[in-house]
Chain A
């Protein structure tokens, strides 16, 4: 499934967005180069540094924005997959109390009689099928 999403990722990013991002990136780099040139001029001729600061700020801002847009677009696309959570089946022997927890297999259902118990040879029973989700730390609300 994830392979499918990866193979079609590039086709899902709009070419217009890509163009804008790369133009911004190029302009930002040019701004940074000019800023560097002004700094060199400051050391050589003693120019004012205000222009260098402005260009430096613009360059950094441009690079930051275009990188953010690129990363964000890729992050959104990488989310494109159906997550299948692991589902567990509990098999229990009602006679001797032996309990096994294993991964769900097709055909399992709650109260299905399965293979005989290895301890007492009595039929085992599926008593639970569930999925466990590890939730992130919940945001605390005062209400």
Chain B
């Protein structure tokens, strides 16, 4: 009853107000909004962008914290440390590497290699001190887990830096540039997040597709160490002798394929008919996952030290180089191996066979190098 009375009162007042007044109000409202947008349009746009970055930053913070938590829990579970490793993990996440000075580029590759070696030794020592009960395979896996957590920490800090800088300076261009690349950054962060679990459990990842092909070729044959963290097997292959190289598994590492290929070439005094490199390659949008492509050149990523060494050795003896790659995106490369990529390793074996038969003669020696992180892949 009271509601009906209230409604009756309201309708009488509104009737007095009249429709002309409502039209007037709407007109004024329209002009006010129009003028506000003329003067403050850019600022409103900036706040919308900032809000978007802020939402992603929350997500990044969550992923980063989860990464840290997974790293600490895995170390506690595998490494059985006496004390809580959280402080050491936090210190590890803040590690940085300073690249060599390249004002005088001569010899920069060796300087870079030295720095990377020092970094690798330092990381392994740190992991061993954090997780004393872990074996060599577990140390490698833990190192990979910590590196993924560290990458997430770095991404979060960079985005936070630009967000706060944008907020402080209210510069549209500072905010705009971070907002524009945000979808790609988030994609990479999500990829690292799924990599964390894979590294912690020692599951094979997409990047290891090349190493898996090599493992399939060398399985059942005797292997020997040829360079740091690399193994080679001498395999009779289509009437030729194949030296199959991969990083030593199943711990997470990429080895030093540059040194391994160089060593095998030198052992055979340069009498190698061809080198075939197999690696995972980033696919372009629109390409199928696990698509196999063939080409020439050293198929290897990373900082470039190994590629330089391989090219140098090949040039010395004028050896041809072929590459077979498996296409995948960044997310698939660092997360557990997808079935499509696993299945395409058989197609790669076919391609390799084709290249060997077409490009070499019976009795020749060939090098087949499977490049990539060999986590979860034995030999």
Binding site for B on A (CB under 8 A): 1, 5, 12, 33-34, 36-38, 40-41, 44-45, 47-48, 50-51, 54, 76-77, 79-80, 82-85, 87, 104, 106-112, 128-133, 141, 143
Contact = CB atoms under 8 A, between A and B. Distances in A.
B338 A131 contact: yes
Contacts of A84: 194, 197
B249 A109 contact: yes
User: What are the 6 A-B residue pairs with the smallest beta carbon separation, nearest first?
Assistant: A41-B11, A109-B250, A37-B10, A37-B11, A111-B378, A130-B342
Interface in B13-59: 14-15, 17-19, 22, 26, 55, 58-59
B61 to A, nearest CB: 9
Contacts of B11: 37-38, 40-41, 44-45, 47
Interface string B64-101: 00100000000000000000000000000000000000
Interface stretch (B200-208, B257-265, B273-281): B200-208
B196 interface: yes
A131 B336 contact: yes
B339 A50 contact: no
A128 B337 CA distance: 10
B225 to A, nearest CB: 17
Given A83-B194, A133-B338, A108 B376 contact: yes
B58 A82 contact: no
B193 A82 contact: yes
Given A82-B63, A84-B197, A108-B376, A41 B12 contact: yes
A37 B15 CA distance: 10
Contacts of B18: 51
Given A12-B58, A111-B219, A111-B378, A50 B8 contact: no
A77 B11 CA distance: 42
Interface in B307-348: 335-339, 341-342
A117 B357 CA distance: 37
A41 B194 CA distance: 62
B212 interface: yes
B377 A109 contact: yes
A37 B338 CA distance: 62
A40 B8 contact: yes
Contacts of B14: 34, 37-38, 41, 47, 51
Contacts of A54: 22, 26
Given A47-B11, A112-B378, A107 B66 contact: no
A60 to B, nearest CB: 16
Interface residues of B, number: 45
Contacts of A51: 14, 17-19, 22
A141 B250 CA distance: 40
Given A109-B249, A130-B339, 12 more contacts: A37-B8, A38-B15, A51-B14, A76-B55, A79-B59, A85-B336, A111-B377, A128-B342, A129-B203, A129-B204, A130-B204, A143-B286
A18 to B, nearest CB: 14
A76 B60 CA distance: 13
30 contacts: A33-B10, A37-B7, A37-B8, A38-B14, A40-B7, A41-B14, A44-B8, A45-B11, A47-B15, A50-B22, A76-B55, A77-B58, A82-B193, A82-B196, A87-B336, A106-B202, A108-B203, A109-B204, A109-B377, A109-B378, A110-B204, A110-B250, A111-B215, A111-B378, A129-B203, A129-B204, A130-B338, A130-B341, A141-B286, A143-B286
B62 interface: yes
B379 interface: yes
A48 B378 contact: no
Nearest to B9: A37
Contacts of A85: 194, 335-336
Given A34-B10, A109-B250, A129 B338 contact: no
Contacts of A132: 338-339
Nearest to B67: A82
B377 A130 contact: no
A107 B202 contact: yes
